[in-house]
C-alpha cells in the first residue's frame, strides 16, 4: 500500500503553509506534503483519500473489539458516527488535541513528560501541515465521511452497517476488517503515513472510553469551539494552549531548581 494510493507524494517546499498558530512554514527543501483541494476559506481541504487514511487509523487505534454478532471478518468497531466525528476532530486539529493533553497533565492524569508532546503538537511542522479545521453544525464538528468510507469499503478495509429501523433511532456502525488492520500495519512502514498512527494513539489517550455525546460535550467546553457560527470552520485555540504550556513548563523548571537546591550536598549525612 503506497503513499500515492492515499493522495500523498513528495513535493518541494516551495511557497508556505499557514497553520493554526498563524506561523508560516516555508523553505526550499524537499519534503513530503499532502495533496489537497482548494478551500474557499483560505485553507486547503484534505482529499477524500487522506480522509480515508484518518478513518482507517482511528478505527484501528480507537475501535473496540468486535463481538460474534458483528459482520464476519471484522476486528474492531466504532458504534456511532458522533464518536467517530469527535475523534476525527482531534486528529485534524492538533491544538485541540494538545489542549486535552494539557488538561490531563494539569489534573495529574499524565506526567510532565507529556509537556514535550504538547509542545511538538503546537510548534512542530508536521502537525501544522496536517491541520484541517472542521465546520461546526448543530451537533458540533461534522464533515461528510461517506466518500472516504466508500474508498475503504472498495478496498475491503472497512465496512459500515446501519442498525435500527426508525430514522430517529437508526445509526451507523463502522467496522475495521482484518485486511484493514493489516493495512495499518503496512502504514507503520511508510515515512509519510505513519504519522497518523501516532496521532491516533494520542487521540485514544485523551478520549478514553467516553462515548460520542460525552466527547462532544468535552469539545464544547472550549469557548472558541462553542462560539463558532454554524457552517463555519471552528476557530483554533493555539494561543491559549501555548500560554498554559508556558506556565506548566515554568512550574516544572522551578520545581527542578527547588529540588536541586534542597538536595543534600555531596558528603553531607
Judge whether 243 lies within some domain: yes
Reported as a pLDDT band with limits 50, 70 and 90, residue 11 is very low
Backbone angles phi, psi at 211, to 5 degrees: -80, 180
Q: CA-to-CA distance for 19 and 39, rounded, in angstroms?
A: 14
The pLDDT assigned to 169 comes to 58
The answer, yes or no, to whether residue 269 has pLDDT greater than 50, is no
The chain-wide mean pLDDT, for the chain, equals 79
Question: Is 34:8 a contact under the CB 8 Å cutoff?
Answer: yes
Task: Indicate the Cα dihedral angle 159, 164, 167, 173, nearest 10°.
Answer: -30
Q: CA-to-CA distance for 247 and 165, rounded, in angstroms?
A: 52
Residue 262: other Cβ atoms inside 10 A: 7
The answer, yes or no, to whether residue 208 has pLDDT greater than 60, is yes
In sequence order, which residues have a C-beta less than 8 Å from that of residue 39 and are 6 or more positions away?
45
Judge whether 200 lies within some domain: yes
The pLDDT assigned to 138 comes to 67
Judge whether 256 lies within some domain: no
Mean pLDDT of 106-120: 96
Q: CA-to-CA distance for 259 and 197, rounded, in angstroms?
A: 37
The pLDDT assigned to 42 comes to 53
32: its cell numbers: 513530503
Share above pLDDT 70 across residues of the chain, in percent, rounded to a whole number: 74
Number of separate domains in the chain: 1
pLDDT digits (tens, 9 = 90+) for 24-83: 333 322 223 333 333 434 556 778 888 999 999 999 999 999 999 999 999 999 999 999
Judge whether 36 lies within some domain: no
Helix (H), strand (E) at residue 197: helix 194-207
Count of helices and strands (H, E) across the chain: 11, 12
DSSP code of residue 107: T
The sign of the CA dihedral 25, 31, 34, 40 is positive
Instruction: Name the residue among 153, 174, 158, 146 with its Cα closest to residue 78.
Output: 174
- Find the range with the poorest average confidence among 154-158, 227-231, 254-258: 254-258
Share above pLDDT 90 across residues of the chain, in percent, rounded to a whole number: 52
Its pTM stands at: 0.77
Q: CA-to-CA distance for 161 and 182, rounded, in angstroms?
A: 21
Greatest mean pLDDT range, 27-36, 118-127, 211-220: 211-220
Reported as a pLDDT band with limits 50, 70 and 90, residue 266 is very low
Q: CA-to-CA distance for 240 and 225, rounded, in angstroms?
A: 13
Residue 243: other Cβ atoms inside 10 A: 10
Q: CA-to-CA distance for 20 and 241, rounded, in angstroms?
A: 12
The pLDDT assigned to 162 comes to 85
The answer, yes or no, to whether residue 13 has pLDDT greater than 70, is no
The pLDDT assigned to 177 comes to 98
Structural domain boundaries enclosing 57: 48-248
Judge whether 76 lies within some domain: yes
Q: Of 177 and 234, which is predicted with more confidence?
A: 177
Judge whether 12 lies within some domain: no
The pLDDT assigned to 218 comes to 92
Q: How far is CA 69 from the centre of its chain?
A: 30
pLDDT digits (tens, 9 = 90+) for 145-183: 899 999 999 999 999 998 866 665 567 999 999 999 999
Judge whether 20 lies within some domain: no
The pLDDT assigned to 81 comes to 92
Judge whether 259 lies within some domain: no
Question: Is 17:24 a contact under the CB 8 Å cutoff?
Answer: yes
pLDDT digits (tens, 9 = 90+) for 90-105: 999 999 999 999 999 9
Amino acid at each position: 500500500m503506497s503513499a500515492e494510493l492515499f493522495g500523498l507524494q513528495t513535493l518541494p517546499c516551495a511557497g508556505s503553509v499557514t497553520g493554526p498558530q498563524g506561523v508560516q512554514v516555508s523553505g526550499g527543501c524537499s519534503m513530503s506534503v499532502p495533496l489537497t483541494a482548494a478551500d474557499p476559506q483560505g485553507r486547503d481541504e484534505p482529499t477524500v483519500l487522506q480522509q480515508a487514511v484518518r478513518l482507517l487509523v482511528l478505527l484501528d487505534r480507537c475501535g473496540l473489539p468486535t463481538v460474534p454478532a458483528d459482520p464476519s471478518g471484522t476486528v474492531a468497531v466504532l458504534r456511532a458516527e458522533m464518536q467517530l466525528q469527535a475523534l476525527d476532530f482531534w486528529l485534524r486539529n492538533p491544538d485541540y488535541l494538545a489542549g486535552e493533553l494539557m488538561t490531563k497533565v494539569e489534573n495529574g492524569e499524565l506526567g510532565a513528560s507529556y509537556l514535550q508532546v504538547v509542545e511538538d503538537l503546537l510548534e512542530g511542522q508536521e502537525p501544522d501541515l496536517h491541520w484541517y479545521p472542521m465546520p461546526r453544525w448543530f451537533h458540533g464538528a461534522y464533515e461528510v465521511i461517506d466518500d472516504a468510507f466508500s474508498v475503504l469499503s472498495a478496498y475491503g478495509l472497512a465496512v459500515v452497517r446501519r442498525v435500527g429501523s426508525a430514522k430517529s433511532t437508526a445509526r451507523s456502525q463502522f467496522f475495521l476488517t482484518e485486511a484493514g488492520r493489516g493495512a495499518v500495519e503496512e502504514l507503520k512502514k511508510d515515512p509519510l503515513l505513519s504519522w497518523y498512527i501516532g496521532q491516533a494513539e494520542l487521540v485514544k489517550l485523551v478520549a478514553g472510553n467516553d462515548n460520542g455525546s460525552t466527547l462532544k460535550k468535552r469539545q464544547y467546553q472550549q469557548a472558541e469551539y462553542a462560539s463558532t457560527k454554524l457552517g463555519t470552520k471552528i476557530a483554533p485555540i493555539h494561543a491559549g494552549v501555548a500560554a498554559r504550556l508556558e506556565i506548566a513548563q515554568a512550574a516544572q523548571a522551578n520545581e527542578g531548581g527547588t529540588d536541586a537546591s534542597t538536595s543534600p550536598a555531596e558528603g553531607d549525612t
